[in-house]
Amino acid sequence: MINSFLGFKPDRSLYPKTNAEGKLEIDLSSHQYTKLWLGPNHPGVTGNMAMELTLNGDEIVEGKTHVGYLHRGFEKLIERRLFVQGFPTSIRMCVAEPDTNEYLIAACTEELSGYDKQVPEMAKWLRMLSLEMARLQGLLRGVPGQAGTFSLGIGVQWGTYLRDLILDRFEELTGARVYHMYIIPGGVRGLLPDGFKDRMEDNLKEIDQFIIKIRKLIFNNAVFKTRAVGLGVITPKMVDQYGIVGTNARAAGVKRDVRKDNPYLFYDLLDFDPPTATEGDVYARTWVRWQELIQTVDLIRQIMAKMPEKGEIRAQMPNVLNWRIPQGETYVKLESGRGEYGLYYVTDGSDKPRRVNLRGPSYTHGIALLEDMLVNTNIADVHALMVSLQVCPPEIER
């Protein structure tokens, strides 16, 4: 679409031929193609990931992703740790939205040990609050960050400042800025501090201002429109083929939201409707995320209004040092800012899990989908694509 807009018609005769199996036949020694490695050391790549691009001019004919630069072997390490020790380890699986991991570890262990009914109500509200705050800070990075990939830096400057305000609230509530370690099996680790809601409301007001400004800055911007419209289109058919979830699916018109489909915590008490779009391109995805930003602010307000003032924060659980969970397996999922985020958890009756497998949305978005979407795009659009799919490498390789 963008190419036709600029009146540019690529010469398809230069493209590599495909063989009988449908694979590209690229002969590098023919001097027709260039191999370019993008990342891992590259400021535009989110996280630490490499893409091996085969170029024809500046157009990509083949893209291969290379992950593993952030591999720490979490799933192996958690197998060596007690159930309660799993959550400080697991949250480091994704630095962009760590709270989701805490919740999943807690929910899986509670479900398998039969304590899920005993989690106090207050703890559930506080879990929801911290999850929504995590989504908010993720979106405050993500929405302006999309414009940042087209070299529009001012939104990033604002967004990072506002995200920092949310991190200050996190610090008050949980005791840490980024790795909160707040949701623990059985409940949470603290009540709201005095005056938290007022300070949060002040921050939310600032974010309201920002939301309006960002609309003028990004969505009514000639550069952004020209480059984002028509880039990286996801069709509704692709959603199931690739396992696309979250905002990426919703921007393609497929309404998938775990908070609505399989409500967890008290999400069915909140009044919201996940935003959708139909175009499925980078512009639509950013637009959906921007609307979700509005919605998340609203959800935080709803949660703060509906939650009780005081209450128990943790159920009485077995001694953490002796805690054993009977044999079983489960899959618990939640809606993170990037989409369905799930944990497959297997126990074998000992005091440590048998297997923990994280299913992050980036796993499919960042490898299979991204590789196919890179073809026929321009080098300059690679980062835009990557950010628009919200690829978070640490959750791919774990």
Partner 1 sequence: MEHARLQLVNKLFNDRPKSYKYNLFQMKLLIDRLTQHYNLTDYKQQRHNLAFVTVDKQLSPDIITHLRDYEGFSHFVLLSCVDWIEDDKLQLTYLLNQPNHKYEIGVRVLIDRKNPEMVSLHKMWKQIWTYQRELHEAFGIIFPGSPRLEENFVLEGWTEKPHMLRDFDTKEYAERTYFPRPGRTSNDPATYMREKLYPNQPVTAKTNKND
Partner 2 sequence: MNIKDIFTPFTVWSSVLKDPVTIKNPIGREAAPRYRGFHYNDINACIGCGTCEAICENQAIDLVPVEGIVTKSGDSGLRPMVDYGRCCWCALCVDICTTASLRLTNAYTWVDTDPDNFRFIPGVDKKDWDEVQLGWRKPEPNYSFYGLHRQHMGELHAEDRKSSFIEFVQGYSKEQAQQEADRCVSCGICVATCPAHMGIPEYIKAIRNDDMEEGMRILYETNPLPEICGRICTHKCEDVCSIGHHGDPLSIRWLKRYIADQIPTDVNTYQDILGTGNLAKNGKKIAIVGSGPSGLSAAHYLALLGYSITVFEKLPAAGGMMRYGIPEYRLPYDQIDKDINYIASLGVEFKYNITVGKDITLDQLSKDFDAVFSGTGLHLGRSTRIPGSDNENVYQSVDLLRDIVTGKPVPVMPKVVVIGGGNVAMDITRSMARLQMEKYGKVDVLATSLEDEDFMPADREEIVEAREEGCTIVPGYGPQEVVLENGKLKGLKVWKCLSIFDENKAFNPKFDSAQERIFEADMVIESIGQGMDLSYLTEEIKSKIEFNNRGRIVVDADYQAKGLPWLFVGGDIIEGPDVIHGIANGHRAAMGIDRFLNG
Partner 3 sequence: MSDLNINQKVSEMLQRSEANAQQDEKTFVRPEDELREVVAPDGSIIKINPLYDYYSGERPQEDKPKNAIVEKFLNWARSESIWVLGFGTGCGSIEIPPLVTPRYDMFRFGVQMRATPRQSNAFIISGYLSVKTLKRVIRSYEQMPSPKYVIALGSCTINGGMYYDSYSTINRLDKYLPVDVYIAGCMPRPEALLAGFGELKRLIKEGKGEKANEYARNFDEYKANQKKIIKDWNMPDYNW
Give the whole-angstrom CA distance, residue 354 versus residue 197: 41
User: Can you tell me which residue has the tokens 């400021």?
Assistant: 43
Name which of partner 2, partner 3, partner 1, none residue 156 binds, using a CB cut-off of 5 to 8 Å depending on partner kind.
partner 3
- Of 67, 102, 83, 70, the closest CA to residue 358 belongs to 102
Q: Does 270 engage in binding with partner 2 (CB under 8 A)?
A: no
From the list 157-165, 235-243, 295-303, 356-364, the region that binds partner 3 by CB under 8 A is 157-165
Q: Does 364 engage in binding with partner 1 (CB under 8 A)?
A: yes
Give the whole-angstrom CA distance, residue 217 versus residue 387: 18
- Of 174, 161, 86, the closest CA to residue 130 belongs to 174
Q: Does 68 engage in binding with partner 1 (CB under 8 A)?
A: yes
User: One symbol per residue from 45 to 84: x for binding partner 3 (CB under 8 A), - otherwise; what is it?
Assistant: --xx-------------------xxxxxx--xx--x----
CB 326 within 8 A of CB 112: yes
Q: Does 329 engage in binding with partner 1 (CB under 8 A)?
A: yes
Give the whole-angstrom CA distance, residue 250 versus residue 277: 6
Side chain identity at 14, as an amino acid letter? Answer: L
User: Can you tell me which residue has the tokens 């490498």?
Assistant: 393
User: Can you tell me which residue has the tokens 């191999």?
Assistant: 35
In the complex, the smallest distance separating the C-beta of residue 192 from partner 3, rounded to whole angstroms, is: 22
Instruction: Pick out residues in 91-130 that bind partner 3 (CB under 8 A).
Output: 92, 95-96
Q: How far is CA 74 from CA 67, 78, 237, 296, 398, in A?
A: 15, 6, 33, 30, 6
Our CB check for partner 3 shows the closer of 259 and 338 to be 338
CA 311, 137, 71, 61 torsion-angle sign: positive
20 DSSP assignment:
T
Instruction: Pick the binder of partner 2 from 40, 57, 88, 328 (CB under 8 A).
Output: 88
Mention every residue, 6+ apart, whose C-beta is less than 8 A from residue 39. 45, 48, 49, 50, 51, 66
3-state secondary structure of 343: strand
From the list 25-33, 48-56, 87-95, 252-260, the region that binds partner 2 by CB under 8 A is 87-95
Give the whole-angstrom CA distance, residue 394 versus residue 398: 5
Output the six-digit token pair for 222. 């000639």
Side chain identity at 56, as an amino acid letter? Answer: N
Instruction: Pick the binder of partner 1 from 7, 43, 195, 308 (CB under 8 A).
Output: 308
Q: Does 83 engage in binding with partner 1 (CB under 8 A)?
A: no
Q: Does 181 engage in binding with partner 2 (CB under 8 A)?
A: yes
Name which of partner 1, partner 3, partner 2, none residue 328 binds, using a CB cut-off of 5 to 8 Å depending on partner kind.
partner 1
In the complex, the smallest distance separating the C-beta of residue 387 from partner 3, rounded to whole angstroms, is: 13
3-state secondary structure of 183: strand
> For binding to partner 3 (CB under 8 A), which residues are involved?
28-29, 40-43, 47-48, 68-73, 76-77, 80, 88-89, 92, 95-96, 141, 156-157, 160-161, 163-164, 177-179, 394
> For binding to partner 1 (CB under 8 A), which residues are involved?
66-68, 71, 73, 75-77, 79-80, 111, 121, 240-243, 245, 256, 261-262, 266, 268-269, 306-308, 328-331, 333, 340, 342, 344, 346, 354-355, 357, 359, 363-364, 367-369, 372, 397
> For binding to partner 2 (CB under 8 A), which residues are involved?
81-82, 84-85, 87-89, 154, 161, 168, 171-176, 179, 181, 187, 189-191, 193, 213, 216-217, 220-222, 225-226, 312-314, 316, 318-322
